[in-house]
């Protein structure tokens, strides 16, 4: 109660000043506002935008924690300090403190920079424009560290976050007004501005300078080269990971995208709390399966010869596309963004289907980087209002027809 009372006193002290939005944001983030509605004409609910954002963050926390263990595991595996885990999801070779600490000290700075820069800009705009601090970045701040390579320089991440918040959201009017998903806008900026850092062909390994000194002839390296699954498939190579490894997440990749099972559980949690749209998730999976089946049929028909440029990803079983790369994470946590996705129920089916369909299409044919969910979602963000427009117009026409039929 002492902290709440002190925050309330600060709010009163700075009421009417430029700093009022900052103290209001901190107070309402931690506690229910002192002024609430009591009349019977108001609809009351326990949730608000901050609580909704926090619920989404809760769904991502398991992916974050797993990513910390996996980062350390990939490091120790690459340096030969441990052997690959076999069979059990609860293997002590994976869930050990050494793995966690290595990942923790590498990932936490990404989280701090993401929230520090993003929320700093949000507070700055609130003070300058004299409005309440918007809560939309609470989720974006957690999404960003989960979708970038673990070895990305912090200054590079800070520049991208600043671009994404200012250009991707604030210029459109702030939370609820943006056209593109802010987290994907940040990743797209990194993708096009610093492509060598986003290529996905390096596995970060802590302290690898000493281990690779002889091979590197004294070069100042901080990573051991290694390909992700999509990188290997794009070059027609055989994948060294089992289906179980890919589903559980014992594979290299961005922090939050590797464990399909934890992403699935997070998606079910969002559906249960009625925050995530099951229509978008299901239709995205159907779209990806459709495109994957088409490519599989092309390969089976002999149209694409083995060893050709696109054979590796085309011949990948359609269901395997769902558990590799960032597809699952993008569909669950970013395609379902209520601001940038379609709003109508029928529109959500079209929107999600094309997200999945185009994701696999880009994944196979993208010459720069074998992944497509980011570009597919951003593309459909642009078309979402158009989809909703035609869905609404179609409903209006149907109602007019029914009305004419009744009159006649």
- Beta-bridge mates of residue 224: 203
User: Quick one: 221 exposed, middle or buried, by C-beta within 10 A (0-12, 13-18, 19+)?
Assistant: middle
User: Quick one: 29 exposed, middle or buried, by C-beta within 10 A (0-12, 13-18, 19+)?
Assistant: middle
Identify whether 21 is part of a domain.
no
- Beta-bridge mates of residue 202: 225
- DSSP, collapsed to helix, strand or coil, labels residue 16 as coil
Identify whether 31 is part of a domain.
no
Q: Are residues 234 and 316 in contact, defined by beta-carbon separation less than 8 angstroms?
A: no
C-alpha angle 305-307-311 in degrees, rounded to nearest 5? 70
Q: How far is the CA of 26 from the CAs of 10, 132, 136, 365, 403, in angstroms?
A: 11, 11, 14, 46, 52
Q: Are residues 184 and 377 in contact, defined by beta-carbon separation less than 8 angstroms?
A: yes
Identify whether 104 is part of a domain.
yes
pLDDT in tens, the chain (408 residues): 566 666 666 666 656 565 556 556 555 555 555 555 555 555 555 566 677 888 999 999 999 999 999 998 888 887 777 877 766 677 778 888 999 999 999 999 999 999 999 988 888 887 777 766 667 788 999 999 999 888 889 999 999 999 999 988 888 877 778 889 999 999 999 988 888 777 655 555 655 444 444 344 444 434 444 557 887 777 777 777 888 889 999 988 888 999 999 999 999 999 999 999 999 999 999 999 999 999 999 999 888 878 778 888 898 999 999 999 899 999 999 999 988 999 999 999 999 999 999 999 999 988 667 788 999 999 999 999 999 999 999 999 989 888 888 886
Of 116, 22, 108, 8, nearest in space to 65 by CA: 108
Question: Whole-angstrom Cα distance, residue 306 to residue 322?
Answer: 23
Question: Whole-angstrom Cα distance, residue 122 to residue 142?
Answer: 15
Beta-carbon count within 10 A of 342 CB? 25
Nearest 5°: phi and psi at 315?
-85, -5
Identify whether 272 is part of a domain.
yes
Identify whether 363 is part of a domain.
yes
Question: Whole-angstrom Cα distance, residue 122 to residue 402?
Answer: 48
Of 319, 314, 320, 341, nearest in space to 330 by CA: 341
Q: Are residues 82 and 108 in contact, defined by beta-carbon separation less than 8 angstroms?
A: no
pTM as predicted: 0.84
CA dihedral 78, 195, 384, 61 (to 10 degrees): 30
Over its C-alpha atoms, the chain yields an Rg (Å, rounded) of 23
- State the residue range of the domain holding 304: 50-383
Q: Are residues 260 and 67 in contact, defined by beta-carbon separation less than 8 angstroms?
A: no
Identify whether 338 is part of a domain.
yes
User: Quick one: 282 exposed, middle or buried, by C-beta within 10 A (0-12, 13-18, 19+)?
Assistant: middle
Identify whether 403 is part of a domain.
no
Question: Whole-angstrom Cα distance, residue 1 to residue 223?
Answer: 49
Identify whether 7 is part of a domain.
no
The total domain count for the chain is 1
């Amino acid at each position: 109660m002492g902290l709440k009372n002190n925050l309330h006193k600060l709010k009163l002290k700075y009421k009417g000043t430029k700093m009022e939005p900052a103290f209001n944001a901190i107070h309402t983030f931690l506690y229910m506002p002192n002024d609430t509605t009591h009349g019977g004409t108001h609809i009351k609910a326990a949730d608000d935008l901050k609580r909704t954002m926090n619920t989404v963050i809760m769904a991502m926390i398991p992916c974050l924690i797993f990513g910390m263990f996996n980062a350390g595991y990939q490091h120790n595996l690459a340096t030969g300090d441990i052997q690959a885990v076999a069979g059990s999801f609860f293997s002590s070779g994976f869930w050990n403190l050494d793995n966690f600490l290595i990942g923790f000290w590498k990932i936490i700075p990404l989280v701090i920079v993401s929230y520090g820069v993003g929320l700093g800009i949000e507070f700055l705009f609130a003070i300058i424009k004299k409005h309440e601090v918007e809560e939309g970045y609470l989720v974006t701040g957690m999404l960003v560290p989960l979708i970038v390579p673990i070895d990305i320089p912090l200054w590079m991440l800070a520049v991208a976050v600043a671009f994404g918040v200012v250009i991707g959201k604030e210029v459109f009017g702030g939370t609820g007004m943006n056209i593109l998903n802010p987290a994907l806008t940040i990743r797209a900026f990194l993708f096009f501005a610093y492509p060598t850092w986003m290529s996905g062909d390096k596995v970060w390994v802590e302290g690898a300078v000493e281990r690779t000194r002889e091979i590197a002839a004294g070069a100042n390296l901080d990573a051991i080269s290694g390909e992700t699954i999509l990188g290997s498939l794009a070059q027609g190579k055989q994948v060294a990971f089992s289906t179980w490894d890919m589903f559980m997440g014992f594979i290299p990749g961005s922090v939050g995208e590797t464990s399909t099972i934890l992403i699935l559980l997070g998606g079910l949690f969002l559906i249960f709390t009625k925050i995530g749209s099951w229509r978008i998730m299901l239709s995205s999976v159907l779209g990806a399966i459709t495109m994957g089946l088409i490519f599989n049929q092309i390969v089976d028909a002999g149209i694409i010869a083995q060893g050709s440029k696109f054979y590796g990803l085309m011949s990948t079983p359609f269901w395997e596309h769902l558990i590799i790369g960032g597809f699952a994470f993008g569909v669950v946590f970013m395609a379902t963004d209520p601001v940038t996705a379609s709003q109508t129920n029928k529109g959500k089916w079209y929107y999600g289907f094309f997200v999945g369909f185009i994701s696999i299409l880009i994944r196979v044919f993208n010459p720069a980087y074998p992944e497509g969910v980011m570009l597919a979602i951003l593309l459909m963000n642009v078309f979402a209002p158009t989809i909703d427009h035609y869905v609404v117009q179609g409903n209006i026409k149907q109602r007019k027809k029914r009305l004419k039929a009744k009159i006649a």
